[in-house]
């Protein structure tokens, strides 16, 4: 059968449109790979994104890719690490200009996992592609991104400390508020009346702005917390060996405890805190 010119002209645009739609769909799939998540993974994605304060479609999809690749438990563990960093002051950008956002810290911790394969990284952090699937060329006028740098501390000698302390003693400032946050799993706990006492030792130094003196490790924190709120924390810690206590309070140097005494004003755990945030976010 032979088509006349008019019939060929009517058929060609439809076929052409189908080819163009197919190319657009293929490019969209390359640019925005959509994770296939089950109900539990989708709930975990929404929970993690809400706690990170990420509401835009792009970061929400990226959180979904992390959950889909790592699994819900591992992704929640990264969230717990993010929350721990946020409570202790956050994570600075490599150039020290500002703190990362909670979402930025979350994705930074995922990228820092050296057990990930190249396929894992490409799936969770896909490159951005432009027209016809070609990678966009970087603009020649765009500022270069500084390479990540390791934490650089300044070595203070004993003489440096003595001179600094002598000079600072000339004019002391006055505090208006003192608050400390201690995160970790306590060992033994002792009850004395309505007070529970426990000790945690600091062995991990967080990332600090470049140029600060290197802090010591092995600091002992003796925590005094009211018995009633502690019972709920102790129950949560006993139920989950991966959970950790979060204690806020007033800190004072006390030679009687051979370290820093912390008088708790609040006590919870990471999982209890996360559950509370989810409940709060779900409340209209």
Domain assignment present for residue 59? The answer is yes
45 contacts 69 by C-beta, under 8 angstroms: no
Domain assignment present for residue 148? The answer is no
> Which tops the pLDDT comparison, 274 or 44?
44
Domain span including residue 188? 177-282
Q: What is the CATH number of the domain that holds 113?
A: 1.10.10.1440
Tokens of 228: 């009633």
Domain assignment present for residue 190? The answer is yes
Highest-scoring range by mean pLDDT, 2-11, 54-63, 152-161, 230-239: 230-239
Q: What is the mean pLDDT of residues 67-82?
A: 89
Q: Considering the chain, what percentage of its residues have pLDDT values greater than 70?
A: 75
> Which tops the pLDDT comparison, 144 or 268?
268
**pLDDT recorded at residue 141:** 47
**pLDDT recorded at residue 1:** 44
62 contacts 125 by C-beta, under 8 angstroms: yes
Residue 82 CA to residue 106 CA, distance in Å, equals: 6
Domain assignment present for residue 172? The answer is no
Regarding whether 112 and 46 lie in a shared domain, the answer is yes
Number of domains in the chain: 2
75 contacts 66 by C-beta, under 8 angstroms: yes
**pLDDT recorded at residue 35:** 65
**pLDDT recorded at residue 213:** 84
Regarding whether 193 and 120 lie in a shared domain, the answer is no
> Which tops the pLDDT comparison, 96 or 123?
123
End position of a domain, from candidates 70, 103, 133: 133
Q: If pLDDT is split at 50, 70 and 90, which confidence band does 280 have?
A: low
Domain assignment present for residue 197? The answer is yes
Query: pLDDT for 133-189, tens place per residue?
Result: 344 444 444 444 444 444 555 677 888 888 888 898 888 898 888 889 898 899 899
Residue 80 CA to residue 24 CA, distance in Å, equals: 39
Domain assignment present for residue 162? The answer is no
**pLDDT recorded at residue 279:** 65
Regarding whether 47 and 113 lie in a shared domain, the answer is yes
**pLDDT recorded at residue 114:** 80
Tokens of 122: 């490409």
SS (H, E, C) the chain: CCCCHHHHHHHHHHHHHHHHHHHHHHHHHHHCCCCCCCHHHHHHHHHHHHHHCCCCHHHHHHHHHHHHHHCHHHHHHHHHHHHHHHHCCCCECCCCCCECCHHHHHHHHHHCCCCCCHHHHHHHCCCCECHHHCECCCCCCCCCCCCCCCCCCECCCHHHHHHHHHHHCCCCCCCCCCCEEEEECCCCEEEECCEEEEEEEECCCCCCCCCCECCCCCEEEEEEEEHHHHHHHHHHHHHCCCCCEEEEEEEEEEHHHCEEEEEEEEEEEHHHHHHHHHHHHHCC
126 contacts 68 by C-beta, under 8 angstroms: no
DSSP E strands in 40-157: the ranges are none
Q: What is the mean pLDDT of residues 242-261?
A: 91
Q: What is the CATH number of the domain that holds 221?
A: 2.40.50.140
Query: pLDDT for 3-44, tens place per residue?
Result: 443 444 444 444 444 444 444 444 444 444 566 788 888 888
Domain assignment present for residue 146? The answer is no
Regarding whether 272 and 181 lie in a shared domain, the answer is yes
Residue 284 CA to residue 1 CA, distance in Å, equals: 66
Q: For residue 276, what is the enclosing H or E element?
A: helix 270-282
Domain assignment present for residue 6? The answer is no
């Amino acid at each position: 059968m032979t088509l006349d010119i008019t019939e060929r002209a009517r058929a060609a645009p439809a076929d052409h449109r189908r080819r163009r739609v197919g190319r657009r769909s293929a490019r969209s799939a390359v640019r925005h790979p959509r994770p296939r998540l089950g109900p539990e993974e989708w709930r975990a994605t929404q929970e993690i994104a809400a706690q990170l304060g990420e509401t835009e479609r792009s970061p929400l999809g990226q959180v979904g890719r992390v959950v889909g690749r790592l699994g819900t438990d591992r992704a929640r563990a990264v969230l717990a690490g993010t929350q721990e960093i946020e409570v202790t002051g956050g994570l600075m950008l490599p150039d020290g200009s500002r703190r990362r956002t909670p979402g930025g810290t979350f994705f930074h911790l995922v990228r820092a996992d050296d057990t990930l394969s190249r396929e894992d990284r490409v799936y969770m952090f896909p490159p951005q592609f432009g027209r016809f699937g070609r990678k966009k060329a970087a603009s020649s006028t765009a500022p270069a991104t500084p390479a990540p740098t390791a934490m650089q501390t300044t070595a203070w000698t004993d003489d440096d400390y003595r001179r600094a302390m002598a000079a600072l003693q000339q004019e002391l400032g006055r505090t208006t508020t003192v608050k400390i946050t201690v995160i970790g799993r306590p060992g033994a706990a002792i009850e004395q009346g309505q007070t529970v006492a426990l000790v945690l030792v600091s062995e991990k130094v967080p990332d600090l702005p470049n140029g600060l003196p290197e802090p010591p490790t092995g600091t002992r924190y003796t925590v005094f917390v009211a018995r009633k709120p502690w019972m709920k924390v102790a129950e949560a810690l006993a139920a989950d060996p991966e959970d950790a206590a979060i204690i806020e309070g007033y800190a004072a140097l006390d030679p009687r405890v051979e370290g820093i005494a912390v008088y708790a004003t609040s006590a919870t755990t990471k999982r209890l805190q996360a559950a509370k945030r989810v409940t709060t976010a779900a409340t209209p």
